[in-house]
Chain A
Amino acid sequence: MSITPRHLLVPVDGSERSLHAAAFAASLCAGSEARLTTLYVVPATSAEMMGMRHLTQAEVELHLEKAAAPVLGKVSELLGSFEGLDQHGELVRFGDPADEILTAVQRLGVDHIVMGSRGLSHLEELLLGSVSEKVVRRASCPVTVVR
């Protein structure tokens, strides 16, 4: 079928719901040729990003790796339990989560996003969560929101 996902992106933030999203995506990929990329965006405001300007690329990458390790470790452990999932990649970015997710979709040629609905605050949990709301509105590919 033409709409069969070939490259799924799962933005994760370490929350239970983002792990549910990763499990959902993994069972969709398992046994198919689809690639699965997990993305962790280290949230950073533009002011924080300005403050990082004096760092070298290597220093920035080291900082991001450290920040991402606990989250991606958890996700990787979970995905390891899925049989038939052989194409799994990881990506770490920093900045505005929704913007970085949408940029990754374009750059990687992602054709399906699976994400948790959790927002950044308790109030947002009642709604959809600002990140998923923005992604759902702007993404050009199908988006699955997992609660």
Chain B
Amino acid sequence: MLRPPAHILVPVDGTETSLRALELGATMAAAFHARLTVLTVVEHNAADDVGLRGREEDTRTRVVEDEADPILDRAEAHLAALGAPTCTRLARYGDPDEEIVAAARELQVELVVMGTRALGRLAELLLGSTSDAVLHQVGCPVTLVR
């Protein structure tokens, strides 16, 4: 029989929905006595790549950290305000769909909890494209939060 997840991954992007997902992820981590990892993906686009090309590796790392740190700080502060247990922070650079799926696999997490970003009149019927991709590609259970 399936045992409760021992490691939960919550990808956050600074939006309210992702903080709600973090709250639920923390609740579930407490209920399951699971580890909690909070991930943010610094989205890359072609312009960034040009800007970062040829730079020292640590320059590139610093650029990623500059973007990721405020998001992770806010997530951590949110958890602290809720009295939730501590989490592990993780920042990755690239395509959010791919990086979340890759991080889930590499860390061997057993649950992903994430917000769905769906805008506009058809919001009810649509999922955010990232949550849709993760839901279909990740091998473990996924909790989607609106």
Interface residues of A (CB under 8 A from B): 1-5, 19-20, 23-24, 27-28, 30-32, 78, 127-128, 136-138, 140-147
Contact = CB atoms under 8 A, between A and B. Distances in A.
A137 B2 contact: no
Interface in B107-146: 111, 124-127, 135-136, 139-146
Contacts of B125: 137-138
Contacts of A141: 146
Contacts of B142: 144-145
A95 to B, nearest CB: 20
A20 to B, nearest CB: 4
20 contacts: A1-B26, A2-B23, A3-B20, A3-B24, A3-B27, A4-B27, A24-B2, A31-B31, A128-B135, A128-B136, A136-B127, A136-B135, A138-B124, A142-B24, A142-B143, A142-B144, A144-B111, A145-B135, A145-B143, A145-B144
Interface string B40-75: 000000000000000000000000000000000000
Contacts of A31: 31
A20 B124 CA distance: 27
A52 B87 CA distance: 54
Most chain B CB within a 10 A radius of its CB, from A24, A78, A146: A24
Contact of B4 (A27, A127, A128): A27
B130 to A, nearest CB: 14
Contacts of A147: 139-141
Interface of B: 1-2, 4, 20, 23-24, 26-28, 31-32, 82, 84, 111, 124-127, 135-136, 139-146
B115 to A, nearest CB: 10
A24 B146 contact: no
Contact of B141 (A5, A78, A145): A145
Most chain A CB within a 10 A radius of its CB, from B20, B31, B126, B140: B31
Contacts of A146: 2, 141
A128 B135 CA distance: 8
A136 B140 CA distance: 16
